[in-house]
Chain A
């Protein structure tokens, strides 16, 4: 619980920083997503109160943009790029293999809370297609057979 309290204190700091600027809701939600790893209902209520807006407004924005999630994600987010350049170079096979190896579908998190699979929008690393990102690390020029080895490194 103490940890939760610290997080809300951090959120309050972000709110204070942005509160007076026009269109503050987006930067505040982005900060919240960073602090909590997601924006659950209690966080949304807190933001609505602090910015003097309604929960429905906050919820509307939070659910509109794909960057915000209402549920927590796994420790490692495996994002397989499904941009056109990656798709024509076989990204679907890479994604299928990731799903097969981890045993969960796109959007879902493994039972141990370690991995969440995402089919992401173009990462702009088209020269390295097909591309996959695990948190901030980029893996390029992939073949499906490399997938088990890469995932293994994160399981340790």
Chain B
């Protein structure tokens, strides 16, 4: 094996690739060749490091120097200074807010990483995901070897049961129990399916795992296949994730070559192979029965349960379906034991959870924290708080199935059950932070708009009920809300939750109910006073000329409805009754004197 004195890790996740990490990598290769360093410095394209806000990210070992927002032009300097002369390029080193004077930041000292515990993401940003040897060097496929040589299927299931691992896709059903049900079904053919149809807007952990550590998912699928007695596996992945699909396919090829997939794996007599199926842009396919229909080549519509997939699933055979992040935990549980996993997190929610931090937050990116961490720690310690000195208003978890959580609940520990109690849910782990400029009624409308669009149309409560709710919300944000609208929304929500066929419909009203619960005053302001407290809803805003006005009369000339009056060199006034809110005056004003209020 070759020995290198330095390693340059370039993030090849979707976020950093989008901001040009591919060219940065090429430039490094060229510069290192030019300086004759090929035998001394190794360049690795890794998966996502997590701190997307600082992207494109480059880390140089052995020092662990963390360079952020690197541009192609910076590469020459890093090579000549850091790699040739051993001097850190100070102006590119990532600095925490408030610690700007620190000279040498390495990964473990950064606030963003300090409170994290990486199990599912442990290899993301560490290994080259397109090289099976690197995965194996980090204990990869060791768990599978243990399982196939030393454990009976029922031992594997018992270990997963004892670990307390619950589904990371959102609902939190105990994984071991799912496996137990599928194992108990008698059939010649069973299937193991990995749900990588990550549809929740703002959640991208499954993609990061597939992009950064695809072998972990494959290894877990073989283990699960062995446990339940399946010989065929499918990964159903979004077509919108081209990098993830490519790396998954490379990983499958490599695993087949090494005899870790296919016939007689590791001479154990166990056969198992994995196939990739692409989604085609339907959110409902994240629901397990819809997902199976889609793999079968049909419209991705859900069907009533029971029968559960463990009895009658894919191609009418017993099937076990697990989410990507859930599976990424499995090899570690086998390697370190159920007791180790149970010792992390809380009693009812063991282990860690990956969250995708986004929205109005400084450190956007992926974080993996032990269950029981508070929202406040995630948002303010790890996430670095709200940018531009704005005030925190709410955090939305669980995507279109979840809800908005307000300041009063920031100190509750994160668990499946606590989040459900406060009207949201764990969901797949999207965590969108909102500040004082975001209107909560409009956010509710945004999510309903999403659900109405993605409702498959099979059951009436979801197809028609969500549309009626959306119509009411649209009326409210336009300033046409009437007394009784809130109550009507609540009544519709209750009925849809009780009667919709699948999880999509049953949870669709959650964003509306949670915003009514914690931000009822905003709904009332829209309806009763025709006012949007966040100054967001266009139809409810009035233009107003402040004392910055110099009386230049430019706005008077441009107003199409002559709503502005005033004499030269004196402050002008807008007649709100005449104004049609076209915004022409704002564009014309050179003094920034016209504001929306």
Task: List chain A residues, Cβ under 8 A from B359.
Answer: 84-85, 88-89, 129
Given known pairs A23-B277, A24-B297, A85-B201, the reply for A125 and B14 (CB within 8 Å) is yes
Say yes or no: is B283 at the interface (Cβ < 8 Å to chain A): yes
Whether B204 pairs with A23 at a CB distance below 8 angstroms is no
Please name the residue on chain A nearest to B430 by beta carbon. A84
Say yes or no: is A68 at the interface (Cβ < 8 Å to chain B): yes
In the complex, which residues 422-453 of chain B have their Cβ closer than 8 Å to any Cβ of chain A? 430, 432-434, 438, 443, 446-447
Task: List chain A residues, Cβ under 8 A from B350.
Answer: none
Given known pairs A88-B359, A126-B52, A129-B364, the reply for A64 and B300 (CB within 8 Å) is yes
> B281, B296, B360: which contacts A23 (Cβ < 8 A)?
B296
Whether B281 pairs with A128 at a CB distance below 8 angstroms is no
Closest approach, in angstroms, between the C-beta of B433 and any C-beta of chain A?
8
> A26, A84, A121: which contacts B432 (Cβ < 8 A)?
A84
Say yes or no: is A60 at the interface (Cβ < 8 Å to chain B): yes
In the complex, which residues 106-130 of chain A have their Cβ closer than 8 Å to any Cβ of chain B? 120-129
Closest approach, in angstroms, between the C-beta of B3 and any C-beta of chain A?
34
Closest approach, in angstroms, between the C-beta of A37 and any C-beta of chain B?
15
Whether A126 pairs with B204 at a CB distance below 8 angstroms is yes
Given known pairs A61-B298, A124-B241, A125-B14, the reply for A84 and B396 (CB within 8 Å) is yes
Q: How many residues of B contact A (CB 8 A)?
A: 52
Given known pairs A22-B296, A83-B201, the reply for A127 and B280 (CB within 8 Å) is no
Please name the residue on chain B nearest to A123 by beta carbon. B240
Whether A121 pairs with B281 at a CB distance below 8 angstroms is yes
Q: Which of A120, A127, A131 has the most CB of B within 10 A?
A: A127
Closest approach, in angstroms, between the C-beta of A151 and any C-beta of chain B?
18
Say yes or no: is A74 at the interface (Cβ < 8 Å to chain B): no
Q: Mark B34-52, 1 if CB is under 8 A from A, else 0.
A: 0000000000000000001
Task: List chain A residues, Cβ under 8 A from B300.
Answer: 64-65
Whether A124 pairs with B240 at a CB distance below 8 angstroms is yes
Say yes or no: is A25 at the interface (Cβ < 8 Å to chain B): yes
Q: Mark B286-319, 1 if CB is under 8 A from A, else 0.
A: 0000000011111111000000000000010000
Task: List chain B residues, Cβ under 8 A from A123.
Answer: 14, 240
Please name the residue on chain B nearest to A58 by beta carbon. B297
Whether A138 pairs with B201 at a CB distance below 8 angstroms is no
Say yes or no: is A87 at the interface (Cβ < 8 Å to chain B): yes
Q: Which of A66, A89, A125 has the most CB of B within 10 A?
A: A125
Task: List chain A residues, Cβ under 8 A from B15.
Answer: 125-128
Whether A87 pairs with B446 at a CB distance below 8 angstroms is yes
Whether A124 pairs with B299 at a CB distance below 8 angstroms is no
Whether A89 pairs with B360 at a CB distance below 8 angstroms is yes
Whether A85 pairs with B432 at a CB distance below 8 angstroms is yes
Task: List chain B residues, Cβ under 8 A from A126.
Answer: 15, 52, 202, 204, 356, 358, 364
Given known pairs A30-B239, A84-B201, the reply for A25 and B278 (CB within 8 Å) is no
Distance, CA A22 to CA B296, complexed state (A): 7
Task: List chain A residues, Cβ under 8 A from B53.
Answer: 127
Task: List chain A residues, Cβ under 8 A from B315.
Answer: 22
Closest approach, in angstroms, between the C-beta of A67 and any C-beta of chain B?
4
Task: List chain A residues, Cβ under 8 A from B456.
Answer: 64
Task: List chain A residues, Cβ under 8 A from B14.
Answer: 123-125
Whether B204 pairs with A88 at a CB distance below 8 angstroms is no
Whether B446 pairs with A121 at a CB distance below 8 angstroms is no
Say yes or no: is A140 at the interface (Cβ < 8 Å to chain B): yes
Whether B18 pairs with A138 at a CB distance below 8 angstroms is yes
> A23, A60, A83: which contacts B295 (Cβ < 8 A)?
A23
Say yes or no: is B465 at the interface (Cβ < 8 Å to chain A): no
Distance, CA A126 to CA B13, complexed state (A): 12
Task: List chain A residues, Cβ under 8 A from B198.
Answer: 124
Task: List chain A residues, Cβ under 8 A from B201.
Answer: 82-85, 87, 121-122
Whether B438 pairs with A88 at a CB distance below 8 angstroms is yes
Task: List chain A residues, Cβ under 8 A from B140.
Answer: none
Task: List chain A residues, Cβ under 8 A from B438.
Answer: 88
Say yes or no: is B351 at the interface (Cβ < 8 Å to chain A): no
Closest approach, in angstroms, between the C-beta of B231 and any C-beta of chain A?
14
Closest approach, in angstroms, between the C-beta of A136 and any C-beta of chain B?
8
Given known pairs A85-B201, A138-B18, the reply for A26 and B52 (CB within 8 Å) is no
Please name the residue on chain B nearest to A64 by beta carbon. B299
Whether B202 pairs with A84 at a CB distance below 8 angstroms is yes
Say yes or no: is B12 at the interface (Cβ < 8 Å to chain A): no
Closest approach, in angstroms, between the C-beta of A126 and any C-beta of chain B?
4
Task: List chain B residues, Cβ under 8 A from A27.
Answer: 277-278
Distance, CA A29 to CA B365, complexed state (A): 34
6 CB-based A-B contacts, threshold 8 Å = A61-B297, A67-B239, A121-B201, A121-B281, A123-B240, A127-B15
| Residues of A bordering B, CB below 8 Å | 22-27, 29-30, 60-61, 64-68, 82-85, 87-89, 120-129, 131, 138, 140
**What 10 A-B pairs come out closest when comparing CB atoms?**
A127-B52, A85-B358, A65-B280, A83-B201, A138-B18, A23-B297, A25-B297, A66-B281, A122-B201, A124-B204
| Residues of B bordering A, CB below 8 Å | 14-15, 17-19, 52-53, 55, 198-204, 207, 239-241, 277-283, 294-301, 315, 356, 358-360, 364-365, 396, 399, 430, 432-434, 438, 443, 446-447, 456
